[in-house]
Amino acid sequence: MLRSWLLLTFVIALGLTSVSAEEIVRYRLPEWKRKHLNDASKATKISDTLTKLGCEVQKANHNGHIDVKYRCPEWKQLDLDSHEEAHKWEAWLKEFDFQTEHKH
């Protein structure tokens, strides 16, 4: 058990466990944007996704709907395994007004 743990520690220290992604999608959104949503679960899902992407997110009820306000002033990136997955994320980010760069 100790031997396995030491071997794993050594491999991690050497960086041999890092997996290089085939596709990279970079994104940013310097200015605040807002989505007006009537569906609470959809608002939560979008808010959670934007938060996981490293964005600043504010969510509030307003005049019978939910406002999700968000921005991401610094460039971030997604390391993805396939070209198809990269295009899906890039389309989603553009739908939310992000600037994107897709690298192979």
CATH number of 63's domain: 3.30.70
Q: Domain tally for the chain?
A: 1
pLDDT band with cut points at 50, 70 and 90 for residue 14: very low
Closest by Cα among 94, 104, 75, 84 to 33? 94
> Per residue in 30-82, pLDDT tens?
999 999 999 999 999 999 999 999 999 999 998 889 999 999 999 999 999 99
Q: Residues 79-91: what's their mean pLDDT? A: 95
Q: Give the dihedral sign, CA 97/98/99/104.
A: negative
Considering the domain boundaries, does residue 6 fall inside one? no
Q: Are strands 56-62 and 99-103 parallel, antiparallel or unpaired?
A: unpaired
Would residue 10 count as lying in a domain?
A: no
Q: Does residue 12 belong to any structural domain of this protein? A: no
State the residue range of the domain holding 63.
20-103
Helix, strand or coil for residue 47? Answer: helix
State the average pLDDT over residues 81-103: 95
CA distance 17 to 23: 18
| pLDDT, average across residues 5-31 | 59
49 domain-assigned = yes
Is 7 among the domain residues?
Answer: no
54 domain residue, yes or no: yes
Query: Which pLDDT score is estimated for 21?
Result: 58
Tokens of 31: 């200015």
Whether 68 contacts 46, CB under 8 Å? yes
**66 falls within a domain:** yes
